[in-house]
A and B are shown apart, each in its own frame.
Chain A
Amino acid sequence: MKRLWVALLLVSSAAFAVDTTVLPDPELQQRYEALTHELRCMQCMNNSIADSPVGLASDLRRDVKELLETGKTDDEIRAYMVQRYGNVILFTPPMSGSSAWVWILPALAAIAGLLIGVRIVRRRTSLVDQDESVVDSEEKAQ
């Protein structure tokens, strides 16, 4: 029964897939799928070109496929897209220039949060020590 459900799910997701391109070389196919999932469909901001049915996305997928077939590396294909559409086409912005702060800021926030957390824990543990000493002295007094 479980297998049937899994099979049904697989069939239905394939039926709803926007992109049905299959490259003959499995390694190229894998790189094709990875690249089309990390490039933004420029017309529908938060979809990748792999998930978008609009015309421009299918044209960009065609370009990715052709560039792969002519032996371009992944980085060369990303550069091809950035040269035309700018960094915004990459879901993962580069760590240089004006987009560096989107990498630095979360790291700084995480460190700040950690420091604040450590301070709170330290303060509370020291309070527990004081409580125990009071209880101790009361017990002694009895």
Chain B
Amino acid sequence: MNRFVLPVVVFLALAGVLYIGVRHSPNKSTMVSALLGKPAPPFELPVLGDPARKFNSRELAGRPWVLNVWGTWCGECRVEHDTLLAIAQQNRVPLVGLNWKDDDEAAQQWLTQLGNPYGVVAADREGRTAINFGVYGAPETFFIDADGMVQYRHVGAMTAEVWQREFLSRLPKAGMP
């Protein structure tokens, strides 16, 4: 009897380790941003549709805002677009678009045809701002608090449920100064 105990214990331990490995394998939904709780990297980029103007992320210092990374080449961005439009209608928090490695003309056409949920869209043509944010696949959406800290990153298409649970809940209560 005794000689079976050790192999069974070893087997269960190994199975447990492998199970954890399979459950926590890095995939889009489980990867936590390395920037959480850290200052959002500041950036200054030309505004889409008005390249003479520059958008500086410091313009939003002192209040919470949301950064949505998108591109016209990205299929999931099309999927989340209607949700973003609905979010923009609520008008609870500034929504900044980061148009990642895209074509100016295609991006403008996209917004004209589908509607523009963004207060402003910054054009990241070389992908440097996206790398500073640790972006690895569009769409990604970041919540940045009033102190300029990254509080949350959602990878994949935004949904009404994620918006409610992870973004609206992080806004200061209405009525606060």
**Which residues in A have some Cβ–Cβ distance to B below 8 Å?**
42-43, 45, 55-56, 59-60, 63, 82-86, 88, 105
Among A45, A63, A82, A88, contact of B131 (Cβ-Cβ < 8 Å)? A63
Instruction: Report 27 cross-chain contacts, Cβ distance below 8 Å, ordered by A residue.
Output: A43-B136, A45-B26, A55-B127, A56-B127, A56-B131, A56-B135, A56-B136, A56-B137, A59-B101, A59-B126, A59-B127, A59-B128, A59-B131, A60-B131, A63-B131, A82-B34, A83-B34, A84-B34, A84-B35, A84-B133, A85-B34, A85-B134, A85-B136, A86-B31, A86-B33, A86-B134, A88-B26
* Chain A: minimal CB distance from B172 (Å): 28
**Which residues in B have some Cβ–Cβ distance to A below 8 Å?**
17, 26, 31-35, 101, 126-128, 131-137
Q: How many A-B residue pairs have CB under 8 A?
A: 38
Residue numbers in A under 8 Å from B132 (CB-CB): 84
Q: Quick check: A88 and B31 within 8 Å, CB to CB?
A: yes
Residue numbers in B under 8 Å from A86 (CB-CB): 31-34, 134
Q: Quick check: B17 and A105 within 8 Å, CB to CB?
A: yes
Complex alpha-carbon distance, A88 and B137, angstroms? 15
